[in-house]
Amino acid sequence: MIRKIFTFAMIFILGVSAMPAENKMQTKQGTILHCWCWSFKTIEDNIEKIAEAGFTAIQTSPANECFEGDNGGLEIMSQKNGKWYYHYQPTDWKIGNYQLGTRDDFIRMCAKAKKYGIAVIVDVVPNHTTTHKDEISLDFIEAVGGMQKMYHKNSDHTIRSMANRREVTSAMLGGLPD
């Protein structure tokens, strides 16, 4: 588990730490383009335009493996078949999923972003999984020490108050076990 978290964090840290100091400051004071539901390839193909538009960073949707409901598919936005919310139903912490692309696609996108001085921020879902527990990878389950250690003790109830820190950090969000 620690190795997977470390790998994921290192990709982000390396992207930012490899930038010259002036780019880091520019990112800190700049503008982030939220590339919500964009594939890694789409982001890569548009990095030059993103830089020309003055953005200093991009943020991706969660890059981890996720639930492939409704027989998969790439239709992200639709009243009937939209699948954007599957990004927020992790089945593993490995990079890459059927909607955004592979780990190699992610690495290529990061390399091109670095070339144009664009920082990459990745939305991460570290605290809940899909409700389809049979879809959670065995690697993920083993990384946390078994299914009995997968969830908080309070994960059987839904957050009632977003002002309650304990509930927000240990209860279900939208029915997703924490």
Q: Which of helix, strand or coil describes residue 32?
A: strand
Q: Note the pLDDT of residue 64.
A: 92
125 and 156 fall within a common domain: no
91 and 47 fall within a common domain: yes
For 46-55, the CB contacts below 8 A with 24+ separation are: 47/109, 47/112, 47/113, 47/115, 47/116, 47/118, 48/116, 50/116, 50/118, 51/116, 51/117, 51/118, 54/30, 55/30, 55/31, 55/118
- Closest Cα to residue 62, out of 136, 139, 126, 125? 125
C-alpha 37/C-alpha 171 separation (Å) is 26
C-alpha 2/C-alpha 4 separation (Å) is 5
Let me know: does 49 contact 116? Beta carbons within 8 Å: no
Q: Is the pLDDT of residue 93 over 50?
A: yes
Per-residue pLDDT reduced to its tens digit, 140-173: 899 888 888 877 766 667 788 889 888 877 777 7
Q: Note the pLDDT of residue 62.
A: 93
95 and 70 fall within a common domain: yes
138 and 171 fall within a common domain: no
C-alpha 128/C-alpha 116 separation (Å) is 34
Element (H, E) at 162: none
Give residue 157's domain range: 152-178
95 and 127 fall within a common domain: yes
Per-residue pLDDT reduced to its tens digit, 18-70: 455 555 566 677 899 999 889 999 999 999 999 999 999 999 999 999 988 77
Tokens, residue 37: 């539901």
Domains contained in the chain, number: 2
Per-residue pLDDT reduced to its tens digit, 8-21: 444 444 444 445 55
Q: Position of tokens 């972003």?
A: 113
83 and 129 fall within a common domain: yes
